[in-house]
Amino acid sequence: MKVKKIEVKNLFGTFNHVIQLNTVEQVTIIHGPNGFGKTILLNMLFSFFKGRFYDLLNIPFNEFLLEFDDGKTVLIKKVRVATLSQIQGNKEPLSDIATILEFEYRENANSEPQPFQYRTLSADDIEIPLNIIDRRLPEFTRVGPTSWVHDFTGEKYSLDMIINQYGDKLKISNLNLLKLPPWLNTLIANKSVYLIKTQRLLSFSGSDRRVRERSYGSDRESVSPTPVVIKYSNEITQRIGDILASNSKLSQSLDRTFPIRVVKLRKDQYLTKKEAETNLLHLEEKRKNLADADLLNKQEIDLKELLKFDKSDIKMLTVYVKDVKEKLAEFDNIYNKISILTTIIGNHFQYKDFSISQEKGFVFTATNGNEIPLEFLSSGEQHELVLFYELLFKVEPGSLILIDEPELSLHVCWQTEFLSDLQKITQLIGLDAIIATHSPEIINERWDLTVELTGPKIGPK
């Protein structure tokens, strides 16, 4: 199931956009002047598929339509109602003016619409006092009865956002929330979406803390941001460590059963002498490549001596070849991703050699042989490394990736190569991509992939 078309009406009270996605090459580029809604459109898509409907309530639009390649459609209308009692079924009228989302889902053009209404949470919908949120989420400052601001991003959070993103940390188990209909749950569950924002260089994970005065309460701990390049460098070592641990278990299992499998091997399963030679040469080359990528320890194997085998060795070599293939296959996925990442970064970064180490993660070495600390990389270099790492290692196959302003801090030469680099990744992993940009260098010569956002005609002043 892929998104085929996006429509939004009266965005910011001004714009009506229709975006037909390129489902063949799987890359669509949205471009247009600042303020026309490129970033907002990405956020709207992300919010829908993440079930963050409270985000949509905060965006000024009238209608938002998603059309899928299997004929399904979802139309979302923003509606203002006179009182919350109209939503909650209360008899006593309330003075509030409320905004709700009205969903209309169709299986196909001829099917009956299936409606659903979404409203925001109130304090009565959760089982804990709101001041617990203040204590358990020290990275937030409470600025109103049901609103908070993230100390480092400056982003404002409603109660819905807090519960949706931090419900586990808050240990809230029984929420009196509106249940989503099955069709909406299915749409959300069947599509993985990943948003790469313009702010890519700092992570607010809560690993470092300090005490700080709060404007809406007493002193509490506050979270310090971590450079994302350092976070991802540590993460890649963990990924490699997990693969090595898994491979060690597999190797032990295969080694334990090796003798019995040799004994039970039938003659019709034997490799020919030529097949055995070809396989041994291929596996040794693969082992060498993995060692060069620091995924395996370097081992000296006397291949010439091994290739002197005779017919009596074929039975044992057949099982040996099968086992080594299985052991090394565990590294295929991470090796292919590391190869693309090191190639892209190696081609772009000047006067630096880039490699990935089991122990150190990202390693940059100057021409004089000295190692360069990650925090000494330029903002453009960090943006490039973070962006492509996320595409390769953070995104699931079949996902829709939304990339906001990939040109940020990138040299013009890097921008012109971005699409070709991206397509290497989309082909390897199997992704659909929507890019929001105003850089002609990012587009390069691929204007056939673009959709231009335009505004209403303005007469002479």
- CA torsion through residues 339, 345, 349, 354, sign: negative
212 lies in some domain = no
Same domain, 262 and 307: yes
Q: Which two tokens stand for residue 434?
A: 């929507």
pLDDT at site 158: 80
CATH number for the domain harbouring residue 411: 3.40.50.300
- Mean predicted confidence (pLDDT) in 264-274: 90
Q: Domain end: 394, 417, 450, which one?
A: 394
- Mean predicted confidence (pLDDT) in 284-299: 88
Q: Are 252 and 323 in contact (CB under 8 A)?
A: no
pLDDT at site 217: 46
Does 256 score more than 90 pLDDT? yes
Cα separation of 376 and 373, whole Å? 5
Go through the chain and tell me how many residues it has. Answer: 461
Contacts of 12-16 with C-beta under 8 Å, sequence gap 24+, read 12/37, 12/60, 12/61, 13/60, 14/455, 14/456, 15/453, 15/455, 15/456, 16/456
Does 124 score more than 80 pLDDT? no
Same domain, 271 and 381: yes
Same domain, 441 and 302: no
pLDDT at site 94: 43
pLDDT at site 221: 47
Render pLDDT for 344-376 as a digit per residue (tens, 0 to 9): 999 888 889 999 999 999 999 998 999 999 989
Q: Domain end: 356, 372, 394, which one?
A: 394
Give residue 301's pLDDT band: very low, low, confident or very high (50, 70, 90).
low
Render pLDDT for 277-291 as a digit per residue (tens, 0 to 9): 899 889 989 999 999
Cα separation of 292 and 371, whole Å? 18
Tally of CA atoms within 13 A in the half-sphere of 434 that contains its CB: 27
pLDDT at site 333: 93
Same domain, 283 and 387: yes
Residue 398's region, left for phi above 0, alpha for psi from -120 to 50, else beta, is left
Give residue 224's pLDDT band: very low, low, confident or very high (50, 70, 90).
low
Give residue 304's pLDDT band: very low, low, confident or very high (50, 70, 90).
low
List Cβ neighbours of 132 (8 Å cut-off, separation of 6 or more): 170
Cα separation of 73 and 19, whole Å? 14
Q: Domain end: 394, 429, 451, which one?
A: 394
Cα separation of 248 and 165, whole Å? 36
pLDDT at site 127: 66
* Residue of 138, 149, 157, 152 whose CA lies nearest to 212: 138
Same domain, 361 and 411: no
Give residue 162's pLDDT band: very low, low, confident or very high (50, 70, 90).
confident
The one-letter amino acid code at 448 reads: D
Same domain, 329 and 406: no
204 lies in some domain = no
Q: Which domain holds residue 90?
A: 1-119+400-461
The one-letter amino acid code at 385 reads: L
- Mean predicted confidence (pLDDT) in 399-422: 88
Give residue 310's pLDDT band: very low, low, confident or very high (50, 70, 90).
confident
196 lies in some domain = no
DSSP assignment letter at 173: -
Cα separation of 321 and 80, whole Å? 68
pLDDT at site 223: 47
Same domain, 370 and 305: yes
| CA-derived radius of gyration, the chain | 27
Same domain, 377 and 404: no
pLDDT at site 20: 95
Same domain, 384 and 461: no
The one-letter amino acid code at 66 reads: L
Cα separation of 72 and 184, whole Å? 11
Cα separation of 454 and 19, whole Å? 11
Provide the percentage of residues in the chain whose pLDDT is more than 90.
46
211 lies in some domain = no
pLDDT at site 459: 62
313 lies in some domain = yes
Q: Are 416 and 444 in contact (CB under 8 A)?
A: yes
List Cβ neighbours of 327 (8 Å cut-off, separation of 6 or more): 247, 250, 251, 254
Same domain, 356 and 241: yes
pLDDT at site 200: 57
Give residue 148's pLDDT band: very low, low, confident or very high (50, 70, 90).
confident
158 lies in some domain = no
Q: Which helix (H) or strand (E) holds 354?
A: strand 352-357
323 lies in some domain = yes
* Residue of 46, 38, 49, 45 whose CA lies nearest to 15: 38
Same domain, 271 and 407: no
Q: Beta-carbon neighbour count of residue 167 at 10 Å?
A: 13
Does 163 score more than 80 pLDDT? no
Please state the domain count of the chain.
2
Cα separation of 415 and 384, whole Å? 10
pLDDT at site 126: 67
Q: Are strands 114-118 and 140-144 parallel, antiparallel or unpaired?
A: unpaired
* Alpha helices in 171-227, H assignment, sequence order: 182-189
267 lies in some domain = yes
Residue 90's region, left for phi above 0, alpha for psi from -120 to 50, else beta, is beta
Same domain, 365 and 406: no
- Mean predicted confidence (pLDDT) in 303-324: 83
- What's the whole-number average pLDDT of the chain? 84
pLDDT at site 410: 78
Extract the runs of DSSP E, i.e. beta strands, from 32-139: 63-68, 73-81, 98-106, 114-118
Render pLDDT for 77-102 as a digit per residue (tens, 0 to 9): 998 775 544 455 554 444 445 678 99
